[in-house]
Structure 1
Amino acid sequence: MSDRKQARKATVYRMVMPEHICPYGLKTVDLLKREGFEIEDHHLETREETDAFKARYEVETTPQTFIGGERIGGYDKVREYFGKTPLDQGEDATSYQPVIAIFSMAALLGLALSWYAFGELLTIQAAEWFVSLSMAFLAVQKLQDIRSFSTMFLNYDLLARRWVRYGFIYPFGEALAAVLMVAHALPIISVPVALFIGTVGAASVFKAVYIDKRELKCACVGGGSNVPLGFVSLTENLFMIGMGLWMGARALGWITV
């Protein structure tokens, strides 16, 4: 550690070409500066120059960073050098980041709309908007690549396994229910849709995870996600059930706000 404290100069070789500036090179330089290093920044300005550098040091990628005469490596290796979490943890690494981002933005937008409409943050309408906007954002994630979503969905959804086309219909149903619930419009459509897909989804997730004990990826945030199937997907479906019951009760006049 004492050697690292003394070695406050770093040498970076990175691609800086007219048609391409390596983003990881920029990140490497930025990280080193934030760690207090003086940087000797070497630009590899042509493909030939880049290939010659790779051959000389027997490396396959750039940027490459040297500290105290020792080659550290690329951006991920520099992060590891400073004790930071590696960014590349493999394709199978699980992450809740997409879910956190979706629910956080939905909550903030719900509060913002409530403040705009009523002059108050914490209202029942803010909670309704939070749930319906969460549904809308989750639907968008699925609709970005509906084929990939439907394929992952087949791993556990009970209805989709019997009727494959349901995997293509589901995101549109979720989006339709979400938009109508945001507007408090046509509960005769939004309530049955939310209750149906929420109930089927909750039953499917519960069976796959808590009865069959299967370890699967959740299609709730799209077919390319690494979110584990379980609590998140079950929560999404329970939200839809709860919102369907709530909006249905409001439409029938059982609940007044």
Structure 2
Amino acid sequence: MTGKTAVLYRMVMPEHTCPFGLKSKDLLERHGFEVEDHHLKSREETEAFKRDHQVKTTPQTFIDGQRIGGHDDLRVFLGIDPPKEEQSDTSYRPVIAIFSVCALLALGLAWHQYGTVLVWASLQWFLSLSMFVLAIQKLQDVERFSTMFLNYDLLAQRWVPYSRIYPYGEALAGILMTAGVLNWISAPVALFIGSVGAVSVVKAVYIDKRELKCACVGGSSNVPLGFVSLTENLLMIVMGLWMGLAALVT
């Protein structure tokens, strides 16, 4: 027994178990609380609970007679998240996840192919894998991506269909570069969209000083436009030049 007790009210019905209730229970137990777990077993019971306690949502956690609130409030109370007024919408986590996984995958491919990670192919695969994984994020909702993209891309603002074509071009270039085939297609595509993108980002962020969201990881991104998007475009320029040179040599 820890001596710490929390009272939790959450929806547990035959057709639905609230995922935030499960998360709240797990958080409390991992922080050493004995959980007095109350199940709200019907819609009527849930609505009655919300009326009685004048709350809009469940789950609700109570500690020492004090209502802590829902799952997000509990995370703040336990010190996992900062207070809501200090929280920022900006998040680099999607970008960090993509580049980290692509880097590890590139090293894995190099090890499988050459028995070592210290080869130029590791860098090539990292860049090309990053391109088409970023393209996947955009292709999940092309219309939403295009709306965000139109805020800053100079070519898309002049020719709107380009905002829908862009993620397909990025995916095509990344796949061909990973395979190491048809460099005469992948190199010009990457070089073109990377150059236009880089110029657009520089103008929007560093010249016009606009504060925009980056569409680099899709239309629901909370990544600010700037360094990350510029890096993505510079990667495409580097790969375009690299694969273009390879096409000329071969």
Provide the C-alpha distance between the structure 1 equivalents of 2:241 and 2:136, rounded to a whole number of angstroms: 23
Q: Is the 8 A contact 1:103 1:134 kept in 2?
A: yes
Pairing partner for 1:36 from 32, 38, 45: 32
2:127 corresponds to 1:131: yes
CA apart distance, 1:83? 1.6
Q: Is the 8 A contact 1:217 1:228 kept in 2?
A: yes
One-letter identity of the residue aligned with 2:37 = D
- Which residue in the other structure is 2:150 paired with? 154
Aligned positions of 1:210-249 closer than 5 A: 210-249=206-245
CA apart distance, 1:91? 11
The alignment of Structure 1 onto Structure 2 pairs a total of residues equal to 249
- Which residue in the other structure is 1:253 paired with? 249
Any idea what SS the aligned residue of 2:210 has? coil
CA apart distance, 1:103? 0.6
Identity of aligned residues (%): 66
Provide the C-alpha distance between the structure 1 equivalents of 2:99 and 2:83, rounded to a whole number of angstroms: 23
CA apart distance, 1:251? 2.2
Any idea what SS the aligned residue of 1:52 has? helix
2:23 corresponds to 1:27: yes
TM-score, normalised by the number of residues in structure 2? 0.95
**Which runs of no fewer than 5 residues in structure 2 stay unpaired?**
none
Aligned-CA RMSD value: 1.8
Pairing partner for 2:90 from 91, 94, 102: 94
Q: Is the 8 A contact 1:15 1:44 kept in 2?
A: yes
One-letter identity of the residue aligned with 1:139 = A
Q: 1:218-243, CA deviations, whole angstroms, 9 ceiling, x for partnerless residues?
A: 11111111110000000000000001
Pairing partner for 1:118 from 114, 121, 128: 114
Provide the C-alpha distance between the structure 2 equivalents of 1:169 and 1:157, rounded to a whole number of angstroms: 13
CA apart distance, 1:252? 2.0
Aligned positions of 1:157-172 closer than 5 A: 157-172=153-168
Q: Is the 8 A contact 1:13 1:64 kept in 2?
A: yes
2:175 corresponds to 1:141: no
